[in-house]
Structure 1
Amino acid sequence: MIRLLVFALFVLALAGGFAWLADRPGELSVVWQGQRADMSLMVAATLVVSLVAAIMLAWWIVRVVLTSPHTVQRYFRARKRDRGYQALSTGLIAAGAGDAATARKMHARTKGLLRADQEPLIHLLEAQAAMIEGRYDEARQTFERMVDDPETRELGLRGLYLEARRLGAGEAARQYAERAAETAPGLPWAAEATLEYRSQAGDWDEALKLLGDRPAGSPEEKKAHARRKAVLLTARAAEKFDADPKGARDDAAQALKLVEDFVPAGLIAAKAWLREDNVRKAAHLLERLWKATAHPDVAKLYVRARSGDSAADRMKRAEKLEAMRPNNAEALYVVAEAALEMRDFDRARAKAEASARLSPRESAFLLLADIEDAETGDQGRIRHWMNQALKAPRDPAWTADGITSAEWRVVSPVTGRLDAFEWKTPVSPIAGPLEEGSVNSVDEAIRTLPPLAIETKPAEARRDEPAVAGPEAVDVPAREEAVAALKEKPVPARVPETAEEDEEEARPFFGLPDDPGVKGEPAKRAASGTFRLF
């Protein structure tokens, strides 16, 4: 474009010069070797311009003749280079697609058309072809040669890192990643791998230093950076909690500033406040986390914040949690546990059933079994609830890479990935489709469940029974022992004396019972005093 513009300006200037001469006519006389030549000024200018053009044309012809060998050589060299790059591109595509034969063929063709010292990608194609064919030693040697070249150093280190990971050589992979991070700090894979290895070793200070405080570009990258820093701060806080509670609290508070609803950091900070007997700040923090997440660990720590509280005090705290998150399965479950500790069985059963209605899961049905065992000791009902717990979905837990943990962990023990644990429902190995003829909803099970006979005791005998401290103190027999006991020993029953009592006993339960009892007249059952299950 610029050349075209310059040529147009030159033509315009030349035309303007001739027009200027045409407006100013004149005569020009030239005397040379006794000869005199007279001509007009326009003719003289035309002769000069023509002479210059002839000289330039002659010079161009001479230059083309002199440089023609080099031009022809350069043309064939460029054609050969183009064919080489085409073969290289085809080989890389074939290597990515897993076509070992084509990749090897294109590599041989590329080496004949291009020089390896001029095109480093030839080494990459060679390594990829060797890895596809299973020649890992040759691929590793190729990557080592690439490390010696400054242009391909990072590419060679990544190849060696992936090969070490494949072989399970963690220490070698760590060294390759650290070397790549030193030479090129901006490499994401090197920084990520080095950060994971620092985390696996528990070197939180170096991990935080490596992570740095540099903000990322996009909002998603900024959020991921903040999350990762919060995870590392929480890990350091958990490590120093026993020796330095204040330092652990400061790290956890800093992590909460980055991620406000990060439960592990909140639990550590609350425990640190409780160790300093500052229950008010701990309760305020736990209430804020409960409103945001409704996490069961938060509820458990909140209800049992004071070790010397009575069951009534714990009930008040559980009721406060329920008021913050009404109609929440976790809140109802907490209240049911507190009611069981107070031996308020009616309320405990009602809250546990409501929790199971909202979120049918294993712990809710086990709690109902605990309530039944503490109130009546009816093995039939206990067996029924434990069977429901066996078929119910598992409780949410900290899960990562197919394994569950009772507490949050920083890295996955399987893959070593940082921040791998998530609070979610793990996959149940025993969960399966319902049997033919069984109910498929909780409400339908409630409607179809007939009443079960309950063994009752006089008021004096109940007062003599030991109090139950909580769900953890209830001794629930194993499933197999309960089934054996039911087969060997019948369960006594009685007939309700009043209509109100009969209505109370006919209150619906969750799930379809495994053993509703023997069909028969109530009077006949009352006369015998027992009924047979088998």
Structure 2
Amino acid sequence: MIRILFFILLVLCLALGFAWLADRPGELSLIWQGQRIEMSLMRAASILITLVAAVLIVIWLIRTIWLSPHTVTRYFRARKRDRGYQALSTGLIAAGAGDAGRARKMAARAQGLINADREPLIHLLEAQTALIEGKYDDARRKFELMADDPETRELGLRGLYLEAKRLGATEAARQYAERAAEKAPQLPWATLATLDHHSQVGQWDEAIRLLDQSRAAHVLDRKEADRKKAVLLTARAMSKLDTDTKAARDDALAALKLEGRLVPAALVAAKALFREGNLRKGASILERIWKEEPHPDIARLYVRARGGDSAVDRLKRAKRLESLRSNNAVALAAVAEAALEARELPLARVKAEAAARLAPTESVFLLLADIEEADTGDESRMRHWMAQALRSPRDPAWTADGVTSPSWLPVSPVSGRLDAFEWKAPPSQLSGSIEDGHLSADEAIRSLPPVSAAQHAPAREAPGATSADSAPTIVEAEREPEIKVPERKETVAMPAKSKEPISDEEADPFFGRPPDDPGVRERASEESSKANFRLF
């Protein structure tokens, strides 16, 4: 394109020059060897331009004839090179398609047409062909030759790394990845592989340094780099929590600045602050992340932030969490657990049933079974909740590569991948579907069996009293009213009220309820009342 424009510009300049001469006519007189030559200025200019053009053409012809052997040689060399590159391209396509025979044939042809020292792709084609044919030793030798060449070093190290991973040679793969990351930090695979290795062996400082280098080289996206650095800082904080609380706190807070919704970082920061006696700041961190990510571990740590708190104090803190994130199953379950510990069983039952309606999971129904055991002790009702728990979905847990962990880990124990654990429901281990015979929370609550008198809460005896000299307790008329039989004009015999004052130990409420609750009723009294009723 530039040559065309230059040619057009030259023609325009010549045209302008002839036009200028035409507007200014003149005569040119020349005396050469005693002869006088006269002509017009236009004719003289035309002759001059023609002579210059003729000289240029003659020079071009002489140069072409002189360089013709080299030109012919270069032509055949270029043709041979083009055929070699065509064979190389065909061979690479065949290797990618898995055609080992054609790839080997094209590799031999390309090697005969192109010098392998000038074209390193021939080594790559030979290595790929050897891999397809199963000649792994030959392929490894080719990759080693490529790794020694500065031009193909990264490509050779990549091939050696993949071969080491295939053979399970973890240490060799790590060394190849480190060499590649040192020579070319812009390679994502080398950086990530080295980062995973440092994370597996707990070299958090080296992993953070390498991550900062890769971020400066724009290897990783900013969001991904921030997430990985937050995970590494959290892991380092967990390792320092028992030895250096201050450093653990600083790392955890730095991780929260990079990833504000990272629950393990918030837990480590709160634990470090609690150990330093800064309960207010630790609680505020838990409250802030609770509003975004209501997590059972956060609720558990928040409720038990102070070791000397009573069960009632822990219940108040659980209610505080519920006020921050209302109508949430995790918050309701936390309140139910705290109420169960505080022996406020009606509140525990209400909150647990509400949590079951929002998220009918295994732990919620097990919690209802615990509440049932503490409240009524009815085995049929307890079995009802436990059967419902078996048929309910499993609770979310820290899961990575199909493996669940009771606590968060920075690295997967299966693949060694950094930041692999996720808070999600693990796959069900039951052979059948969990939906078989599954009831909804409302149906499960409505189908709860009535309290069985025989399975009601066991009798509570006063300290030092024996079963032989224990007397029936007072039964209120509103619980067992006097039953009149008109035909015989008789009433049911009721246990006589004791005239002796009941001691404080005997009147000790059963789980916070009045002493006349069925929980402290003697079973012998119940059987006696039923026997008298059957007489009539």
CA contact (8 A) 1:126 1:139 kept: yes
CA contact (8 A) 1:314 1:338 kept: yes
- Corresponding residue number in structure 1 for 2:256: 256
Q: 1:250 to 1:38 in 2, by over 3 A?
A: closer
- Corresponding residue number in structure 2 for 1:17: 17
Q: 1:266 to 1:31 in 2, by over 3 A?
A: same
Q: Report the alpha carbon displacement of residue 104 of structure 1 after superposing the two structures with TM.
A: 2.0
Q: Following the alignment from structure 1 to structure 2, what is the Cα–Cα distance between the partners of residues 463 and 425? A: 47
CA contact (8 A) 1:180 1:190 kept: yes
Q: Following the alignment from structure 2 to structure 1, what is the Cα–Cα distance between the partners of residues 532 and 81? A: 102
Q: Report the alpha carbon displacement of residue 305 of structure 1 after superposing the two structures with TM.
A: 1.1
Q: 1:214 to 1:92 in 2, by over 3 A?
A: closer
Q: Following the alignment from structure 1 to structure 2, what is the Cα–Cα distance between the partners of residues 458 and 401? A: 45
Q: Report the alpha carbon displacement of residue 143 of structure 1 after superposing the two structures with TM.
A: 0.4
TM-score after normalising by structure 2:
0.82
Partner secondary structure for residue 28 of structure 2:
strand
- Corresponding residue number in structure 1 for 2:489: none
Q: Following the alignment from structure 1 to structure 2, what is the Cα–Cα distance between the partners of residues 203 and 363? A: 37
AA at the equivalent of 1:289: I
CA contact (8 A) 2:230 2:256 kept: yes
- Corresponding residue number in structure 1 for 2:67: 67
- Corresponding residue number in structure 2 for 1:238: 238
AA at the equivalent of 1:442: A
Residues 100-139 of structure 1 correspond to what in structure 2 (within 5 A)? Answer: 100-139=100-139
Residues paired across the two proteins, number: 471
Q: Report the alpha carbon displacement of residue 217 of structure 1 after superposing the two structures with TM.
A: 9.1
Q: Report the alpha carbon displacement of residue 141 of structure 1 after superposing the two structures with TM.
A: 0.5
Partner secondary structure for residue 461 of structure 1:
coil
Q: 1:314 to 1:151 in 2, by over 3 A?
A: same
Q: 1:24 to 1:372 in 2, by over 3 A?
A: closer
- Corresponding residue number in structure 1 for 2:42: 42
Is 1:443 the counterpart of 2:442 in the alignment? yes
Partner secondary structure for residue 423 of structure 1:
strand
Q: Report the alpha carbon displacement of residue 128 of structure 1 after superposing the two structures with TM.
A: 1.1
Q: Report the alpha carbon displacement of residue 337 of structure 1 after superposing the two structures with TM.
A: 0.8
Q: Following the alignment from structure 1 to structure 2, what is the Cα–Cα distance between the partners of residues 497 and 80? A: 111
Q: Report the alpha carbon displacement of residue 139 of structure 1 after superposing the two structures with TM.
A: 0.8
Q: Deviations over 1:67-125 (max 9, x none)?
A: 23322332332232222222222222332233323322222222122211111111111
- Corresponding residue number in structure 2 for 1:404: 404
- Corresponding residue number in structure 1 for 2:452: 453
- Corresponding residue number in structure 2 for 1:355: 355
- Corresponding residue number in structure 2 for 1:274: 274
AA at the equivalent of 2:40: S
Q: Report the alpha carbon displacement of residue 46 of structure 1 after superposing the two structures with TM.
A: 2.0
CA contact (8 A) 2:384 2:448 kept: no
Residue range with higher mean Cα deviation, 257-266 or 345-354: 345-354
- Corresponding residue number in structure 2 for 1:511: none
- Corresponding residue number in structure 1 for 2:227: 227
Q: Report the alpha carbon displacement of residue 459 of structure 1 after superposing the two structures with TM.
A: 9.1
Q: Following the alignment from structure 2 to structure 1, what is the Cα–Cα distance between the partners of residues 190 and 428? A: 36
Q: Report the alpha carbon displacement of residue 151 of structure 1 after superposing the two structures with TM.
A: 0.3
CA contact (8 A) 1:434 1:440 kept: no
Q: 1:281 to 1:191 in 2, by over 3 A?
A: same
Q: Which runs of 5+ in 1 are unaligned?
A: 465-495, 499-525, 530-534
CA contact (8 A) 1:216 1:225 kept: no
Q: 1:46 to 1:434 in 2, by over 3 A?
A: closer
Residue range with higher mean Cα deviation, 385-394 or 361-370: 385-394
Q: Deviations over 1:198-237 (max 9, x none)?
A: 1111111111122227756999921111111111111111
Q: Following the alignment from structure 2 to structure 1, what is the Cα–Cα distance between the partners of residues 359 and 123? A: 58
Q: Following the alignment from structure 1 to structure 2, what is the Cα–Cα distance between the partners of residues 268 and 447? A: 42
Partner secondary structure for residue 212 of structure 1:
helix
- Corresponding residue number in structure 2 for 1:206: 206
Residue range with higher mean Cα deviation, 395-404 or 207-216: 207-216
Aligned sequence identity (%)? 65
Give the greater-gyration-radius structure (CA).
2
Q: 1:462 to 1:110 in 2, by over 3 A?
A: farther
Q: Report the alpha carbon displacement of residue 293 of structure 1 after superposing the two structures with TM.
A: 0.7
Q: Deviations over 1:393-412 (max 9, x none)?
A: 11111111110111111111
Residue range with higher mean Cα deviation, 47-56 or 123-132: 47-56
Q: Report the alpha carbon displacement of residue 66 of structure 1 after superposing the two structures with TM.
A: 2.5
Q: Following the alignment from structure 2 to structure 1, what is the Cα–Cα distance between the partners of residues 141 and 404? A: 40
Between the two structures, name the one with larger relative contact order (CA 8 Å, sep ≥ 6): 1
Q: 1:458 to 1:167 in 2, by over 3 A?
A: closer
Q: Following the alignment from structure 1 to structure 2, what is the Cα–Cα distance between the partners of residues 434 and 251? A: 42
Q: 1:439 to 1:269 in 2, by over 3 A?
A: closer
TM-score after normalising by structure 1:
0.82
Residue range with higher mean Cα deviation, 336-345 or 150-159: 336-345
Q: Following the alignment from structure 1 to structure 2, what is the Cα–Cα distance between the partners of residues 389 and 528? A: 40
AA at the equivalent of 2:55: I
Q: Report the alpha carbon displacement of residue 454 of structure 1 after superposing the two structures with TM.
A: 5.0
